[in-house]
Amino acid sequence: MKIGMIGLGKMGGNMVARLLQGGQDVVAYDLSEDNIKLAEGRGAEGARTTEELIAKLLAPRAVWVMVPSGAATESTVMDLADKMQPGDIIIDGGNSNYKDSQRRAKTLAERGINFVDVGTSGGVWGLKEGYAMMVGGEEAAVKSLTPILEVLAPAKDQGWGRMGPAGSGHYVKMVHNGIEYGMMQAYAEGFELMHAKIDMQLDMAQIAELWRHGSVIRSWLLDLTADALTGDPEFSDLSDYVADSGEGRWTVVDALNEGIPAPIITLSVQMRLRSQQKSSYAGKMLSAMRRAFGGHAVKKVEAEAEESIVPEAHTPEAARPQNIPASGAKMDGDAARQLGESGQMPVNPNPEDTENKGAGNQSEGQA
């Protein structure tokens, strides 16, 4: 099958490589000429404009969009819709809000264009291991994409499936990421508790490796943690800043809307938000109140901690914490995008409000 791919970054570029390895034909487009040339070097057919990409595909066409969600996805999808024909398929494989996907599907259906949303998980390991894909959209459209999905998945009959109508793929991926937040937080808290038990001199790397075999809490996240602990188990050079890419917040908002208790996911999101603050205004106020009513001793800031950014990694080996370079780069306008964060920017309470598409998640499809 021949498919167009727009967005050749950390996820999109590796997906192109896996498709080519699986015998599929790909027409690749990106804003970066270097990324296009890299895809061409792997065997893809490059395109320098969306018009050229569409012209190189046979009807009915299928174009996979793998760009940052929010405004970038909106503009890309609508640009394609203006140039494609009835019967064509536009696929959003990023981490879009499911309500945006439902709206886009409705808008494109009025033009006779199919919209398929694919919640994609796999990160930098997807090229080697395959991607888990939660697919939403009309049955016929999804079925026509089977050759592509079978190649991208870990196996033809594993790791992918149609969840339901448009929006359901991104909804299930949203909850997936919320669960991921909770699991990561639980591991981190448990290891911090053991790390603090100084009198026992516990070996974090040994414990992680032991738990990987036979334990009821073994998982791929634990495998990665065990590997990370073989380097510097103190993570001395890492900041405790933890980015959030939006889906965790959306999961909490949806749980509130549905009246479903989700305390673990909610608190894991709150912990990330706290980590993103250089200092807490609430904490300072608490300190001031204790000083005022009890005359208690307080700490005073003498100098702000300095942080740098280490650019995103595109391969499993480069992503290993042991391979983080000794010094990072200065924070610039691209830093927030590379961190995949929404930072202190509020999540759009109404994703269907097209005047505020950029709020919330700005990340490409990720784990």
CA distance 28 to 8: 7
User: First vs last Cα of the chain: how many Å apart?
Assistant: 26
What integer is the mean pLDDT of 166-174? 98
- How high is the pLDDT of residue 360? 39
Instruction: Name which of 8-17, 18-27, 188-197, 335-344 the model is least confident about.
Output: 335-344
DSSP tally for the chain: helices H, then strands E: 16, 8
CA distance 68 to 205: 35
As annotated, the active-site residues are 173, 180
Instruction: Name which of 46-50, 71-75, 318-322 the model is least confident about.
Output: 318-322
| Per-residue CA distances from 346 to 3, 201, 342 (Å) | 35, 42, 8
- What confidence tier does 118 reach under pLDDT thresholds 50, 70, 90? very high
| Per-residue CA distances from 352 to 37, 74, 103, 355 (Å) | 36, 11, 7, 9
Architecture of domain 175-356: Orthogonal Bundle (1.10)
CATH fold of 2-170: Rossmann fold (3.40.50)
| Per-residue CA distances from 333 to 309, 339, 364 (Å) | 11, 11, 17
225-249 residue pLDDT tens? 999 999 899 999 888 999 887 899 9
Supply the pTM of this predicted model. Answer: 0.89
- How high is the pLDDT of residue 308? 79
| Per-residue CA distances from 14 to 130, 165, 259, 316, 334 (Å) | 10, 27, 39, 11, 21
- How high is the pLDDT of residue 306? 75
Q: Which residues pair with 121 in a beta bridge?
A: 132
- How high is the pLDDT of residue 246? 86
CA max distance for the chain:
76
CA distance 169 to 161: 9
- What confidence tier does 326 reach under pLDDT thresholds 50, 70, 90? confident
| Structure tokens, 112 | 């006779």
What integer is the mean pLDDT of 1-27? 96
- What confidence tier does 367 reach under pLDDT thresholds 50, 70, 90? low
Q: Which residues pair with 134 in a beta bridge?
A: 119, 161
- What confidence tier does 363 reach under pLDDT thresholds 50, 70, 90? very low
Q: Which of 124, 117, 249 is nearest to 177 (CA)?
A: 249
| Per-residue CA distances from 40 to 26, 29, 66, 128, 218 (Å) | 9, 10, 17, 19, 40
CA distance 74 to 52: 20
- How high is the pLDDT of residue 50? 97
What integer is the mean pLDDT of 215-221? 96
Residue 213: φ, ψ to 5°: -120, 105
Mean pLDDT of the chain: 90
How would you classify the pairing of strands 160-164 and 132-136? parallel
CB distance 47 to 53 below 8 Å = yes
Listed in sequence order, the residues at least 6 apart from 219 whose beta carbon sits closer than 8 Å to its beta carbon are: 183
CB distance 19 to 148 below 8 Å = yes
pLDDT at 132 over 80: yes
pLDDT at 95 over 70: yes
Residue 234: φ, ψ to 5°: -90, -10
- How high is the pLDDT of residue 318? 82
Range(s) of the chain covered by CATH 3.40.50.720: 2-170
30-63 residue pLDDT tens? 999 999 999 999 999 999 999 999 999 999 999 9
- How high is the pLDDT of residue 351? 54
The single-letter DSSP state of residue 195 is: H
What integer is the mean pLDDT of 280-289? 93
- How high is the pLDDT of residue 302? 82
Which residue's entry shows tokens 């650019």?
311
Four-point Cα dihedral 15, 77, 133, 48, nearest 10 = -10
142-152 residue pLDDT tens? 999 999 999 99
Range(s) of the chain covered by CATH 1.10.1040.10: 175-356
For the chain, what percent of residues have pLDDT higher than 90? Answer: 76
